[in-house]
Amino acid sequence: MILNNDGRKRMSIIIRQYQQADQEFVMKLHVDGLLQFSASIGNPYLDKDMEQIEENYLNKNGEFLVGMYNNRIVSMGAYRKYDSDTAEIKRIRIDQEYQRRGIGQLILTALEESAKVRGYRRFVLDTTSQQLPAQKFFERNGYNEINRKLFKEMEIIYYLKEIEG
């Protein structure tokens, strides 16, 4: 649930696990999110992990969640196993119409809680220098920049977050 500044209910978001029937909507949200910030390296429709979400996330000790509002997918996010102690946060996207309403926080919190239950004690992720709102969001949530690299003329920023006990 998202609350107004005065605490009144504004909208209710349902977070649930990805289902195969979501594929078309999730892919559109993924592509729109990358195009919004010119953050795609190559054709975003060719991102291989998005072609087989079950295989790349759900069946490999990871998770892929969607946020629903009025039976419409308005957000998504995932993590996958990076190593035995580390989950890699991936593909957080919020429909442009629903950004800046706290939905990204709901998705990230749900992903982190799920990963903790699976025993992960560290999170890594990356974003691009073009995605300033994402950088600020992750830093507010305790992610620390650990590296930057230039990849195909795009600066990639790497983040790490350690989990307490």
Of 125, 134, 130, the closest CA to residue 159 belongs to 125
What pLDDT, on the 0 to 100 scale, is given for residue 36?
Answer: 83
The arithmetic mean of pLDDT across residues 108-113, rounded, is 97
Cα distance between residue 135 and residue 140, in whole Å: 9
Q: Phi and psi of 10, rounded to 5°?
A: -110, -50
Contact (CB, 8 A) for 34 and 46: no
| CA within 13 Å, CB half, 124 | 14
pLDDT in the model for residue 3: 46
Superfamily of domain 2-162: Gcn5-related N-acetyltransferase (GNAT) (3.40.630.30)
Question: Can you give the pLDDT at residue 107?
Answer: 97
Show me where the domains of the chain are located: 2-162
The closest alpha carbon to 63, from 137, 7, 9, 117, belongs to 117
Spell out where the chain has E strands. Answer: 2-3, 9-11, 14-17, 63-69, 72-83, 86-94, 122-128, 144-151, 154-162
Express each pLDDT in 28-64 by its tens digit: 999 998 888 777 666 665 678 998 999 999 999 999 9
